[in-house]
Amino acid sequence: MGVRDVRDEGLAGLDHNIITGRLEDLVQWARARSSWPVTFGLACCAIEMMGAGGAHYDLARFGMEVFRASPRQADIMIVAGRVSQKMAPVLRQIYDQMAEPKWVISMGVCASTGGMFNNYAIVQGVDQIVPVDVYAPGCPPTPETLIHAITTLRKNIETGDILRRRGQTGAGADLHVEAIPQTQPVTLSVAR
């Protein structure tokens, strides 16, 4: 019985076979493909986040089909929408309750910079509360933009760059993705 190469199994990203591969590579590969986001939708961006989790966009193909209501079972926080000063301590408490390693995606211009709400009541960027790894732009960003941010985060989890950078600076990865326009309008058809 010979040694099988993991690339034959469709496990892209692992350069060695199962015997000679590094354990670190295998763990990072597994982390990148089994992420569970915590439910944290605050405004209109949350509708787009829910749309990305629906059947049309199917986040299940990335291993993210389960949005967790408990932070102890999640490792990705998607902050979707504006964060008020009253909500900031709650956001930080939920982030602190998440298990390590954990990552944050800032979804939308309101979460990233405060957006059009330049006043005392809205936090001017969620990076003042938690370390952000990926910024998804837009008002609101399309589900395609969120999926692009998720795949960018997956690639960086798999390479281990995020954990090294966080260990050096204590901050997030600070990756910015470009907004992806919706390719075609989503229409619902009723079968008769």
Sequential pLDDT tens for the chain (192 residues)? 444 444 444 555 556 666 666 777 777 777 778 888 887 888 888 888 888 888 888 888 887 878 888 888 888 999 998 999 999 999 999 999 998 888 899 999 988 888 888 888 899 989 999 999 999 988 888 889 999 999 898 888 888 766 666 666 666 666 667 766 666 655 555 555
pTM score above 0.85: no
- Amino acid 9: pLDDT: 46
Query: 189 lies in a domain?
Result: no
Instruction: List phi, psi (to 5°) of 81.
Output: 120, 180
Query: 74 lies in a domain?
Result: yes
Query: 139 lies in a domain?
Result: yes
Q: Amino acid letter at 82?
A: R
Which CATH number goes with the domain that contains 69? 3.40.50.12280
Please state the domain count of the chain.
Answer: 1
- Amino acid 89: pLDDT: 92
Domain range for 170 = 36-176
Query: 157 lies in a domain?
Result: yes
Residues 6+ apart with CB under 8 A from 188: none
Query: 11 lies in a domain?
Result: no
The packing angle between helices 23-32 and 143-159, to 10°, is 170
Query: 185 lies in a domain?
Result: no
Query: 30 lies in a domain?
Result: no
Compute and round to an integer the Cα radius of gyration of the chain.
18
Separation in Å, CA 105 to CA 8, 24, 99: 32, 24, 16
Candidates 41, 38, 95; CA nearest to 68 is 38
Query: 190 lies in a domain?
Result: no
Give the separation between CA 74 and CA 96, rounded to whole angstroms: 11
